[in-house]
Amino acid sequence: MEFKHLRYENTDRADFYTVLRSRVNAYFKDNNVSRYANANMVIKTVFMISLYVVPFVMILTVFDSWFMIMLMWVLTGFGMSGIGLSIMHDANHNAYSRNPAVNRVLGKLLNVIGGSDTNWRIQHNVLHHTYTNVSGMDEDIDAGALLRFSPNQKHRKGHRYQFLYAWFLYSLMTIMWVFSKDYQQYARYRKNGLVKTQKANPKSIISVIIMSKLLYLGTMITLPLVFCSAPWWFTILGFVVMHLVCGLMLSLIFQPAHVVPSSAFPEPAASGNIEADWAVSQLLNTANFAPKSRLFSWYVGGLNYQVEHHLFPNICHVHYHKISHIVRDTAIEYNLPYYSYKTFLDALGGHAKFLYQMGKPDPAVQVAKK
């Protein structure tokens, strides 16, 4: 993917975000509430880290039963996804704490579960949040030849079956982080000048990636091979299952937020820019789901409130439920959409439907691609 500098032309209800931001700021000020983590967030942090660490320790020290060992690998996978959704996500948005050092430390939990916090910030903060659903800019919808997530992407014959096989590919997401994707991203981001956005020495970045991968694999594979009572192949299988669980969980939360029938998928105009206000484009390309499911929202880090997250990524997710009413009412006031699925299953259904639709050739799109 070649990085290009695009700008949003503030021609469409540009005052919406100014008004919305003032109202959200007033909520925190009037209620004397910090926009950062609260006590409940700290408790969740301890729980999610424990859900990752404790089952793994039990694999090494407690269980001899293959069934219980595999169950612990599955729980570790849920702990991985919990850390990704609920802790490192906020930290890498500088939304967890007012203290930058706390955000840096908790953001590096991504390295502890096999990823790269630097690459993630470029892909997620710089590209996805700025250019949501813009093909060639948002890597979240540029999944290569096997998947078509936008009507602006080339259609291939095999895409007709993507509504069936996409789910398996989703489950491979985090294991790809570990073994290939982070190296490919680093090379691409350095070539495109995106590494500079992190204000770090490129050599130190790749050194951290390599060292963190070695430490991760040494911990998560070598230790079980030495101390777990199960045979070596069962340990490798458990490691893979852990990643399949985590990859699928993360994908199922993020995909229904943007890759759905309601999304607009903007394309740059002849001027080379996007003819929309940035905040308006976020509303046109983002959807919430299961807003009344408090337990579900707790586990997924409030990311069922994707609209609020995209408009205010620097606010800790524990506040999304409260400010969602302000966002919804302001959007309605400005005659803007506020997409929200009633349940998580409804959102998954919308995503599956869109995968099916994108599996069909679109003559208008194909003519434009020629």
Confidence category of residue 370, pLDDT binned at 50, 70, 90: very low
End-to-end CA distance of the chain: 19
Confidence category of residue 3, pLDDT binned at 50, 70, 90: low
Cα–Cα–Cα angle for 130, 284, 29, rounded to 5 degrees:
70
Measured between alpha carbons, how far is residue 66 from residues 35, 72, 134, 233 in Å?
Answer: 45, 10, 46, 12
* 17-76 per-position pLDDT tens digit: 999 999 999 999 999 999 999 999 999 999 999 999 999 999 999 999 999 999 999 999
DSSP state of 87: I
DSSP state of 124: I
Q: What are phi and psi of 341, to 5 degrees?
A: -85, 140
| Least confident among 190-194, 252-256, 303-307 | 190-194
Integer Cα distance of 53 and 166 in angstroms: 30
| Least confident among 32-46, 131-145, 293-307 | 131-145
pLDDT on residue 369: 40
Give the 3-state secondary structure of residue 308.
helix
Distance of CA 254 to the CA centre of its chain: 5
Confidence category of residue 149, pLDDT binned at 50, 70, 90: very high
Q: Answer whether residue 366 shows pLDDT above 50.
A: no
- Amino acid present at 108: K
Measured between alpha carbons, how far is residue 300 from residues 87, 199, 324 in Å?
Answer: 10, 30, 16
pLDDT on residue 175: 96
Measured between alpha carbons, how far is residue 267 from residues 137, 150, 161, 173 in Å?
Answer: 10, 11, 26, 27
- Amino acid present at 258: H
Cβ atoms of 195 and 202 closer than 8 Å: yes
- Residue 189: both structure tokens together: 């981001």
Cβ atoms of 112 and 142 closer than 8 Å: no
- Amino acid present at 294: R
- Amino acid present at 344: F
Measured between alpha carbons, how far is residue 304 from residues 23, 28, 96, 257, 319 in Å?
Answer: 22, 21, 18, 8, 12
Mean pLDDT, rounded, for 233-246:
98
- Amino acid present at 162: Q
Considering the chain, what is the average pLDDT of its residues?
93
Beta bridge partners of 341: 289
Beta bridge partners of 8: 274
pLDDT on residue 289: 97
pLDDT on residue 270: 72
Longest dimension (CA), the chain: 65
